[in-house]
Amino acid sequence: MNRSLDPLLEAADSALRTLFARPHASRPVPRATEPPAELGADERREAAALMRVNHVGEICAQALYTAQAAVTRDPALREQLLHAAHEETDHLAWTAQRLQELDDRPSLLNPLWYAGAFGLGLLAGRLGDPLSLGFVAETERQVEAHLDSHLSRLPEGDGASRAIVAQMKEDEARHARWALEEGAAELPAPAKRLMRAAARVMTTVAHRV
């Protein structure tokens, strides 16, 4: 087989597994330290909507990392990006499980979110490794802030969701530090604003659909 096709085949395999297979975590689901509280109907709906948004974020993370790994010419960086994607699979599995526990569903638009994020990842990767890593760092910083806002919006009694989000926030901060240590370039201010605007659209729609 032509080895130049390997990244493309891996990218296709990742897309199919992300969108249609049940994700499996390599780490146990983070657990709350407090006993579970009974959530009211409104609290369950809000918790489920927030966890659906977080699940979409992990769908996008898989697409971004896989696309960037497919186009980089640095084998070491490629392996690091795929390792980061593997860690994000834990988040995907945790949020999917929590949605089931809340008797709710993932976003109906997940294939669209994946395709859009994959295209952004390809674009970032084609700009060269420093800017690609800069895209990782900025994405993870924005995701960390987004998760922090969810910790303030989740029902106080929903310790299960809060524990998952707290661990996700810690992991995303670590990924941002890794990208900076690997030589990430600072993105231009207009690019950062465009990323924030796109994230607002995604979170607003995924909250409902």
Q: Which pLDDT value is given to residue 1? A: 44
- Domain presence at residue 100: yes
- Domain presence at residue 134: yes
- Domain presence at residue 187: yes
Concatenating the DSSP letter of every residue in 95-157 gives HHHHHHHTT----TTHHHHHHHHHHHHHHHHHT-HHHHHHHHHHHHHHHHHHHHHHHHHS-TT
- Domain presence at residue 152: yes
- Domain presence at residue 132: yes
The angle subtended at Cα 130 by Cα 125 and Cα 134, nearest 5°, is 85
pLDDT > 50? residue 2: no
| Helix (H) and strand (E) counts in the chain | 7, 0
Q: Which pLDDT value is given to residue 157? A: 93
**Burial class for 65, CB neighbours closer than 10 Å (0-12, 13-18, 19+):** buried
pLDDT range class, residue 14, cuts 50, 70, 90: confident
- Domain presence at residue 30: no
Supply the CATH number for residue 65's domain: 1.20.1260.10
Domain count, the chain: 1
Question: Is-contact 187 138, C-beta < 8 A?
Answer: yes
- Domain presence at residue 11: yes
Q: Which pLDDT value is given to residue 106? A: 95
Q: Pick the more confident residue, 74 or 20.
A: 74
Find tokens 């769908």 and name the residue: 59
Q: Which pLDDT value is given to residue 12? A: 76
For the segment 152-208, what is each residue's pLDDT rounded down to a tens digit? 999 999 999 999 999 999 999 999 999 999 999 999 999 999 999 999 999 999 999
Please compute the mean of the pLDDT values over residues 4-26 and round it to a whole number.
Answer: 78
Q: What's the domain range around 102?
A: 3-16+41-206
Q: Which pLDDT value is given to residue 46? A: 96
- Domain presence at residue 28: no
For the segment 41-88, what is each residue's pLDDT rounded down to a tens digit? 999 999 999 999 999 999 999 999 999 999 999 999 999 998 888 889
Find tokens 């080895």 and name the residue: 3
